[in-house]
């Protein structure tokens, strides 16, 4: 732990996180209250400012006091007076708001000492949480737009492309193609007009890497995009952003306007011969538009349906012109590679997967949030050290990477290296960065059904195997979850899955069966239990579970009956309550409602519990406080 540094008089900036997570925890109001309190206290040297998403959403709302880097978690409006009086005025940081290490329970004052951050290597996310994303001056102050200047003042297109190729950067949208090579194809393609597109149509459920990058540091995306446009020779650019991300749209538009104002965009950028206009296009809610040919069709004002490749966009893209499409994170990396050099970047990561990758770590994990780690890191390190493990003492079951198209990997893959090749070999994929952790209470058949319901609904309908095949697979999975599975179903799913992969035009269909195929491969037992024993081992699938009130534990308090949303629990004062099994909707509200000291309700699957059918007087003795388990 770092020693406390002396706090200098009155020269602080307190940054409040205004990422989506913290905003829903009232961080806008906190910022306002802080500004007011600082003004009222007359602290002229203290600035109140805001940043994009720090990534540590679980601990929000977050605040950081610079220059010391003192980090506050779970800040509320009620904490504002104390922060202002004690810390900002008297120089005594407020210890009760420090992050508490979940293992050692130690309070940690500095941002850099928190394991969640110290184990990361932030390149793409380098500025997020430290600069105001709505002020280009802040970006310039941390070295922003130096790379663009370097490129335009002294690098040829070939030199930029060569630098990218040597860096080993691969597309962060998921496919993992060499970014430099992609640019080279487009630069060498014949055409009077070329286009540069930034793919910000982040549609994977459980993923918010691109969103946070655009909300937290939009300028770096624009700088990378401008460098890319220069390298390929494009004079027009498009950023395609989901309309569901209104804040990202707003911040990107603002960053565009500010860049134009500073001469980083528009005609004759920085006095060179290079000119570029960038337009923002808002997506209209179709997952398939993340696929590059569908995305281009959407920009052209058409239904976003993929087409076959070749021709690749590099030769025939938007309106038939040579086009390069890069993911947000690939572009955010570009300025750093130019600034620090290809050799530096290529020194990070594994032999074939260079640099860092960003993951949205979510699901059954203690530290949900946004992380950036070097390629080649082990899954175990991400989940247990950075992620803080599974909450509530539950057991790890699977980790799902690559969004709805990825696979679910079991425990024996925890020592798997995270890189493009290893994940693909295991039946999953890198994808664009979603990472969902599942524990023993997650049913793998239900998860496969969930993913398929998503891809099935999002299939554009062009290819028959994808349109009809995913529907058939979904029907089969639904009947398995209902307990109506047939013995031949697992083979049928396997066969259908392989056919859909082989017979679909775009990555949506080619990867849609992955969650089913990997769960069949690694969790076949769970399918078997559902089909043969009509049992859901994780006790999730509603048709296969039952709730019972144990007569030897029930105290007749009546809480469960009051909470039951369908009112199917009968009882009375000091009577053992009974659930009407025929009418129960298996919501589990009663289980949560039953006081822990009684623990009278059990959830079972594949078995029945012998309980009276009518309420009977309570016989059980009131448990003593010490007897509770």
Q: What does the binding site for other proteins look like in residue numbers (CB under 8 A)?
A: 20-21, 23-25, 57-58, 60, 202-208, 211-212, 243-246, 281-282, 284-287, 298-304, 360, 362-364, 368-369, 400, 403-404, 434, 436, 438, 442, 447, 450-451, 454, 458, 460, 565, 587-589
Task: Say if residue 310 is preceded by a cis peptide, omega within 30 of 0.
Answer: yes
Residue closer to other proteins (CB basis): 20 or 353: 20
Chain CA centroid to CA 35, Å: 31
Name the residue with tokens 């849609």. 512
Strand-pair partners of 332: none
DSSP 8-state assignment for residue 362:
E
Residue closer to other proteins (CB basis): 123 or 209: 209
- Rounded to a whole number of angstroms, the minimum distance from the CB of residue 207 to other proteins is 7
- Rounded to a whole number of angstroms, the minimum distance from the CB of residue 5 to other proteins is 30
H or E stretch at 373? strand 369-374
Sheet holding 396-401, edge to edge: 369-374, 356-363, 434-439, 396-401, 408-410
- Rounded to a whole number of angstroms, the minimum distance from the CB of residue 620 to other proteins is 27
* C-alpha to C-alpha distances, 66 to 7, 12, 222, nearest whole angstrom: 10, 6, 26
3-state secondary structure of 18: coil
Cβ partners under 8 Å of residue 104, min gap 6 = none
Residue closer to other proteins (CB basis): 176 or 404: 404
Residue closer to other proteins (CB basis): 185 or 523: 523
- Radius of gyration for the chain, computed over Cα atoms and rounded to the nearest angstrom: 27
- Rounded to a whole number of angstroms, the minimum distance from the CB of residue 359 to other proteins is 11
Which parts of 427-488 fold into alpha helices (H)?
A: 444-458, 464-481
- Rounded to a whole number of angstroms, the minimum distance from the CB of residue 329 to other proteins is 14
Residue closer to other proteins (CB basis): 107 or 284: 284
Residue closer to other proteins (CB basis): 304 or 483: 304
Tokens of 12: 């602080």
DSSP string across 498-541: HHHHHH-SSHHHHHTTHHHHHHHHH-HHHHHHHHHS---TTS--
- Rounded to a whole number of angstroms, the minimum distance from the CB of residue 197 to other proteins is 14
Residue closer to other proteins (CB basis): 49 or 202: 202
Q: How many CA within 13 A on the CB side of residue 464? A: 0
Residue closer to other proteins (CB basis): 369 or 483: 369
In 112-230, beta strands by DSSP E? 195-200
Residue closer to other proteins (CB basis): 94 or 361: 361
Residue closer to other proteins (CB basis): 155 or 448: 448
Name the residue with tokens 């446009």. 229
- Rounded to a whole number of angstroms, the minimum distance from the CB of residue 325 to other proteins is 17
Query: How many CB atoms within 10 Å of residue 87?
Result: 22
Residue closer to other proteins (CB basis): 20 or 511: 20
Residue closer to other proteins (CB basis): 60 or 144: 60
- Rounded to a whole number of angstroms, the minimum distance from the CB of residue 250 to other proteins is 11
- Rounded to a whole number of angstroms, the minimum distance from the CB of residue 364 to other proteins is 6
Letter string b/e over residues 341-370, b meaning 16 or more CB atoms within 10 A of that residue's CB: ebeebbebbbeebbbbbbbbbbbbbbbbbb
What is the C-alpha to C-alpha distance for residues 50 and 29, in angstroms, rounded to an integer? 12
- Rounded to a whole number of angstroms, the minimum distance from the CB of residue 293 to other proteins is 15
Residue closer to other proteins (CB basis): 6 or 301: 301
Query: How many CB atoms within 10 Å of residue 542?
Result: 17
- Rounded to a whole number of angstroms, the minimum distance from the CB of residue 258 to other proteins is 23
- Rounded to a whole number of angstroms, the minimum distance from the CB of residue 68 to other proteins is 26
Residue closer to other proteins (CB basis): 8 or 303: 303
- Computed from CA positions of residues 32, 33, 38, 40, in that sequence, does the dihedral angle turn out positive or negative? positive
Largest CA distance in the chain: 90
- Rounded to a whole number of angstroms, the minimum distance from the CB of residue 23 to other proteins is 7
Cβ partners under 8 Å of residue 137, min gap 6 = none
Residue 501 in contact with residue 407, Cβ under 8 Å?
no
CA neighbor of 455 nearest in space, from 293, 297, 288, 307: 288
- Rounded to a whole number of angstroms, the minimum distance from the CB of residue 106 to other proteins is 23
Question: Cα-flanking dihedrals φ and ψ of residue 561, to 5°?
Answer: -65, -35
Residue closer to other proteins (CB basis): 154 or 301: 301
- Rounded to a whole number of angstroms, the minimum distance from the CB of residue 229 to other proteins is 19
- Rounded to a whole number of angstroms, the minimum distance from the CB of residue 137 to other proteins is 27
What is the C-alpha to C-alpha distance for residues 589 and 604, in angstroms, rounded to an integer? 15
* C-alpha to C-alpha distances, 485 to 442, 445, 478, 523, 586, nearest whole angstrom: 19, 11, 9, 16, 20
CA neighbor of 514 nearest in space, from 528, 529, 494: 494
Residue closer to other proteins (CB basis): 487 or 565: 565
Name the residue with tokens 């002396």. 6
């Amino acid at each position: 732990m770092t020693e406390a540094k002396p706090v200098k008089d009155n020269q602080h900036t307190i940054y409040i996180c205004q990422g989506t997570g913290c905003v829903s925890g009232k961080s806008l109001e906190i910022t306002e209250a802080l500004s007011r309190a600082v003004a009222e206290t007359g602290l002229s040297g203290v600035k109140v400012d805001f940043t994009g998403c720090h990534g540590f959403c679980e601990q929000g709302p977050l605040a950081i006091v610079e220059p010391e880097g003192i980090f506050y978690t779970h800040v509320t409006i009620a904490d504002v007076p104390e922060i202002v009086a004690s810390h900002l005025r008297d120089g005594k940081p407020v210890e009760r708001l420090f992050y508490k290490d979940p293992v050692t329970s130690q309070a940690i004052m500095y941002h850099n000492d928190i394991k969640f951050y110290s184990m990361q290597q932030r390149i793409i996310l380098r500025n997020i949480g430290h600069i105001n994303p709505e002020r280009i001056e802040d970006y310039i102050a941390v070295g922003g737009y130096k790379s663009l200047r370097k490129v335009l003042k002294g690098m040829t297109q070939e030199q930029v492309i060569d630098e990218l190729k040597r860096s080993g950067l691969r597309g962060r949208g998921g496919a993992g193609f060499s970014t430099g090579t992609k640019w080279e194809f487009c630069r060498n393609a014949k055409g009077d007009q070329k286009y540069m597109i930034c793919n910000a149509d982040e549609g994977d459920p459980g993923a918010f890497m691109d969103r946070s990058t655009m909300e937290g540091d939009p300028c770096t995306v624009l700088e990378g995009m401008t460098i890319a446009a220069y390298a390929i020779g494009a004079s027009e650019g498009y950023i395609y952003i989901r309309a569901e991300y209104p804040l990202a749209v707003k911040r990107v538009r603002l960053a565009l306007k500010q860049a134009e104002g500073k001469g980083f965009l528009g005609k004759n950028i920085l006095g060179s011969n290079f000119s570029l206009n960038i337009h923002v296009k808002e997506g209209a809610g179709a997952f398939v538009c993340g696929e590059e040919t569908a995305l281009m069709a959407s920009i052209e004002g058409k239904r976003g349906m993929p087409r076959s490749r070749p021709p690749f966009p590099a030769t025939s893209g938007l309106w038939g012109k040579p086009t390069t499409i890069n993911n947000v994170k690939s572009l955010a990396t570009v300025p750093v590679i130019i600034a620090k050099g290809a050799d530096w970047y290529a020194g990070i990561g594994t032999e074939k997967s260079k640099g860092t990758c960003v993951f949205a770590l979510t699901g059954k994990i203690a530290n949900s949030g946004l992380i950036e780690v070097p390629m080649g890191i082990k899954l175990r390190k991400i989940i247990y050290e950075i992620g803080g493990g599974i909450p509530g003492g539950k057991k790890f079951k699977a980790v799902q990477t690559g969004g709805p198209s990825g696979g679910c990997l079991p425990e024996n893959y925890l020592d798997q290296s995270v890189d493009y090749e290893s994940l693909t070999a295991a039946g999953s994929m890198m994808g664009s960065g979603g990472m969902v952790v599942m524990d023993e209470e997650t049913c793998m058949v239900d998860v496969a059904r969930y993913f398929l319901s998503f891809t099935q609904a999002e299939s554009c309908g062009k290819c028959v195997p994808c349109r009809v095949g995913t529907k058939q697979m979904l029907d089969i999975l639904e009947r398995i979850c209902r307990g109506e599975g047939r013995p031949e179903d697992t083979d049928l799913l396997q066969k259908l899955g392989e056919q859909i992969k082989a017979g679909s035009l775009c990555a949506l269909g080619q990867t849609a069966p992955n969650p089913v195929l990997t769960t069949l491969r690694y969790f076949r037992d769970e399918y078997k239990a559902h089909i043969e024993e009509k049992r859901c081992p994780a006790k999730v699938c509603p048709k296969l579970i039952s709730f019972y009130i144990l007569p030897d534990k029930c105290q007749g308090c009546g809480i469960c009956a009051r909470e039951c949303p369908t009112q199917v629990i009968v009882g009375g004062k000091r009577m053992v309550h009974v659930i009407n099994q025929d009418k129960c909707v298996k919501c589990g509200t009663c289980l949560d409602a039953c006081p822990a000291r009684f623990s009278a309700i059990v959830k079972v699957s594949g078995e029945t519990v012998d309980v009276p059918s009518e309420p009977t007087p309570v016989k059980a003795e009131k448990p003593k406080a010490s007897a509770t388990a």
